[in-house]
Amino acid sequence: MEVTITLNGTECTHDVEPRTLLVYYIREAAGLKGTNIGCDTTSCGACTVLLDGRSVKSCTVLAAQAEGRTVTTIEGLAEADGTMHPVQRAFQEHHGLQCGYCTPGMVMAIVSMLAERGDHVLTEADVRLGLEGNLCRCTGYHNIVEAALAAARAPELRL
Amino acid sequence: MIPASFDYVRADSLDQATGLLERHGDGAKVLAGGHSLLPLMKLRLAVPEVLVDIGRIPGLSYVRDGGDHLAVGALTTHDEIARSPLVGSQLPLLAHVAGQIGDPQVRHRGTIGGSLAHGDPASDLPAVVLALRGTLVLRGPGGSREVDSEAFHLGFLETAVAPDEILTEIRLPKMGELGWGFEKLTKRAQDWAIVGAVAARLDGDGSTAIALINVGPVPARALAAEAALEAGSSPAEAAARADDGIEVSGDLNASEAFRRHLTRVLVGRALEKALV
């Protein structure tokens, strides 16, 4: 079946089997390898992407369910000139990664968390709870949380 | 992990969806958010021939004030329920429990209807609906019918939803300020409950309902503990009877004996919160 998704701002159409999971659509059909597959069981969050702006685990969504929707992956965050998204920059400045495998999912989960916070000022506890669906097997959570809190203070993200 | 092959149909209306279910019978499964069904399909524990995606059918995602109750559309996500001001003020127990399911990504996709229709005793929401004596609205090719929560869960992953029916709405009586408690034990924050318990004061007769999560093969009420409270027992005495007459499962996470212990302890804690 043909599945059309606006992926990182560009509409793309690929002929895939109905059983194709969104993460395989992104990685294999569209060729964007930034989204990692970790546990493949909705647990680890490595495959987190934004579906219509909200974080989802793309190993547990069919590509067909995203037909006509917008999907944002880690490749879609930086600006065209390479300027990093504030969350990416915060990860760099606060060394929010060790091996880096969970990083794309962590970054996308945090982007969604920041978009959903409204007027609420995120606390460390909010961030730790908000990242309950993302596992870091290097156990590098401390700097990830620091990066999220720094990004939450970024003026360009205050709408 | 890749699911076995299936035909995918996106339904535009309930009539179309129930028509497809009627035609394909047991070979078809209903897909909403997919957060119960897709994991089973990836493990090939579920191998449907046809997947009927109801996720785009308009008018199934809502929370409505029905006077003495709230009506929640089956496609309403856990995240929407947890954030709903109406649910927060009238059914704080439901808002709290919905906000504790899985993790944010799961709550963005998982729906209340999917959780109920899947019939997994490890899910949190069936216990809330059981405790509050909710009503479930099922729509089939011949029209709609209502089922009491008491009669909804028939067995492990088995509910009163017929193969050609779709759960469309869940109705729960308003709680207002009535006390409630929710406890669950998980190894990691996002995990399914090893055991969980819901306690809720009910309007009207002032009785207290207790429902259990992941204790046996079917979502169940702790009737012996409820009766003990009714007869004037203290919360602690009632909690000691929480597993009386309950079929209790043992698995890799907890033996039967440990589950019985957890049931009594968590019911005790839930009652302490509900009965302050």
User: Within a domain: residue A159?
Assistant: no
Residue A67 and residue A10 share a domain: yes
User: Within a domain: residue A98?
Assistant: yes
User: Within a domain: residue A19?
Assistant: yes
User: Within a domain: residue A47?
Assistant: yes
Residue A105 and residue A68 share a domain: no
Residue A108 and residue A45 share a domain: no
pLDDT at position A69 is: 98
Residue A68 and residue A16 share a domain: yes
Residue B47 and residue B68 share a domain: no
User: Within a domain: residue A136?
Assistant: yes
DSSP string over B45-64: S---SEEEE-TT-TT---EE
Q: Any chain A CB within 8 A of the CB of B133?
A: no
> How many domains does the structure of chain A reveal?
2
- Binary contact (A132, B103; C-beta < 8 A): yes
Collect all residues of chain A within an 8 Å Cβ-Cβ radius of residue B118: none
H helix or E strand, kind and range, residue B221: strand B220-221
For chain A, the distance separating the N- and C-terminal CA atoms, rounded to the nearest angstrom, is 39
User: Within a domain: residue B116?
Assistant: yes
Q: Of B128, B149, B173, which residue sits at a domain end?
A: B173
pLDDT tier, A157 (very low <50, low <70, confident <90, very high otherwise): confident
Task: Inform me whether the pLDDT recorded for A109 exceeds 60.
Answer: yes
Q: Is A91 exposed, middle or buried (0-12, 13-18, 19+ CB in 10 A)?
A: buried
Residue A90 and residue A54 share a domain: no
- Name the residue of chain A whose CA is nearest to B105's CA: A56
DSSP string over A80-144: TT-PPPHHHHHHHHTT--SS-SSHHHHHHHHHHHHHH-TT----HHHHHHHTTT---TT--HHHH
Residue type, B166: I
Q: Of A53, A75, A97, which residue sits at a domain end?
A: A75
CATH code of A128's domain: 1.10.150.120
User: Of the candidates B2, B38, B104, which has its C-beta nearest A133's C-beta?
Assistant: B104
CATH code of B245's domain: 3.30.390.50
Residue A53 sits at the vertex; the CA angle it makes with A94 and B168, to the nearest 5 degrees, is: 135
**Contact, A106 vs A96, CB < 8 A?**
yes
Residue B139 and residue B215 share a domain: no
Task: Inform me whether the pLDDT recorded for A155 exceeds 90.
Answer: no
User: Of the candidates A60, A64, A129, which has its C-beta nearest B8's C-beta?
Assistant: A64
> How many domains does the structure of chain B reveal?
3
pLDDT digits (tens, 9 = 90+) for A46-81: 999 999 999 999 999 999 999 999 999 999 999 999
Q: Of B129, B155, B173, which residue sits at a domain end?
A: B173
Q: Of B173, B206, B224, which residue sits at a domain end?
A: B173
Residue B192 sits at the vertex; the CA angle it makes with B189 and B193, to the nearest 5 degrees, is: 90
Residue B216 and residue B155 share a domain: no
Q: Any chain B CB within 8 A of the CB of A49?
A: no
Mean of all residue pLDDT scores within chain B: 96
Q: Of B208, B73, B198, whose CA–CA distance to B124 is shortest?
A: B198
Q: Of A45, A75, A105, which residue sits at a domain end?
A: A75
Q: Of A35, A43, A44, A54, whose CA–CA distance to A114 is shortest?
A: A54
User: Within a domain: residue B59?
Assistant: no
**Contact, A40 vs A32, CB < 8 A?**
no
**Contact, B113 vs B168, CB < 8 A?**
yes
Residue B68 and residue B86 share a domain: yes
User: Within a domain: residue A81?
Assistant: no
Collect all residues of chain A within an 8 Å Cβ-Cβ radius of residue B189: 129, 132
Q: Any chain B CB within 8 A of the CB of A118?
A: no
CATH code of A23's domain: 3.10.20.30
- Binary contact (A18, B10; C-beta < 8 A): no
Residue A55 and residue A9 share a domain: yes
pLDDT tier, A158 (very low <50, low <70, confident <90, very high otherwise): low
pLDDT at position B188 is: 87
CATH code of B34's domain: 3.30.43.10
- Look up the domain containing A119 and give its range: 86-153
Residue ranges for chain B with pLDDT beneath 70: none
Phi first, then psi: give them for residue B197, nearest 5 degrees.
Answer: -145, 140
Residue A112 and residue A65 share a domain: no
Residue A69 and residue A9 share a domain: yes
Residue A93 and residue A116 share a domain: yes
User: Within a domain: residue B58?
Assistant: no
Residue A65 and residue A93 share a domain: no
Task: Inform me whether the pLDDT recorded for A159 exceeds 50.
Answer: no
User: Within a domain: residue A38?
Assistant: yes
pLDDT at position B206 is: 82
The dihedral built from the CA positions of residue B69, B72, B78 and B84, taken in this order, carries a sign that is negative
Residue B194 and residue B95 share a domain: no
User: Within a domain: residue B144?
Assistant: yes
Q: Of B210, B198, B196, B183, whose CA–CA distance to B253 is shortest?
A: B196
- Look up the domain containing B72 and give its range: 64-173
Residue B228 and residue B187 share a domain: yes
Residue B162 and residue B69 share a domain: yes
Residue A148 and residue A113 share a domain: yes
User: Within a domain: residue A158?
Assistant: no
* B-proximal residues of A, 6-25, CB under 8 Å: 17-19, 21, 24
Q: What is the DSSP letter of B120?
A: -
Report the gap between the CA of A74 and the closest CA in chain B (Å).
16
Residue A70 and residue A24 share a domain: yes
